[in-house]
Amino acid sequence: MKELIIATKNQGKLREIKDLLKDFDVNITSLAEYPDVPEIIEDGDSFAANALIKANIVGKFTGKLVIGEDSGLEVDYLDGAPGIYSARFSGADATDEKNNQKLIQELSGVPYEKRTARYQCCTAIVDGTQEITVVSGSCEGMITEDPRGKNGFGYDPYFLIAEYQQTFGELDPSIKAKISHRAKALMQVKDVLSQILA
């Protein structure tokens, strides 16, 4: 069975990707199985650049099929922040809780209609040293004032989907798996993997 390495240590992200790719006959692993991979410094200027950095480093080190993914939240009122810094928005010792606290502080007093935002996801596929493609997906939403729901991770409890009037923290995971930024990117990944694995 062919191995597919997801270039992440983020368990929430890994869980979502595994679920979205469950129909493929591949052995999905992550960086947890490759502790000797060189340090990955995400110093790209875009989600796509960071996704490629991750995939290329792991692909060159292992010689295997790799998915590198970078995603984050863009808030219009904050000129697109936190953007590519979403995971470390609150500093070097960032946690989901600290990042959310900072986000809500920066949006303090901002009226609901100006709290528009989107999640962005870019996914790079690399086979050893060969770059295959980079795909992307996005999902529009609003930022709530208070956290709602326990599902998901990151900014999910504050990210409201207008159509459902629920945050990603409240939405049934099966719905999120159809409409999220990651789901939209991975639908394209599936097409590419179908060709590679055929």
Whether 184 contacts 178, CB under 8 Å: no
| Catalytic (active-site) positions | 70
Stretch (H or E) spanning 63 = none
- Whole-angstrom CA distances from 28 to 42, 54, 59 are 22, 16, 14
Q: Position 33: which residue type?
A: E
**Quick one: tokens of 97?**
């809780």
Report d(CA 34, CA 16) in Å as an integer: 20
Stretch (H or E) spanning 92 = none
Report d(CA 195, CA 52) in Å as an integer: 20
**Quick one: tokens of 154?**
């990151």
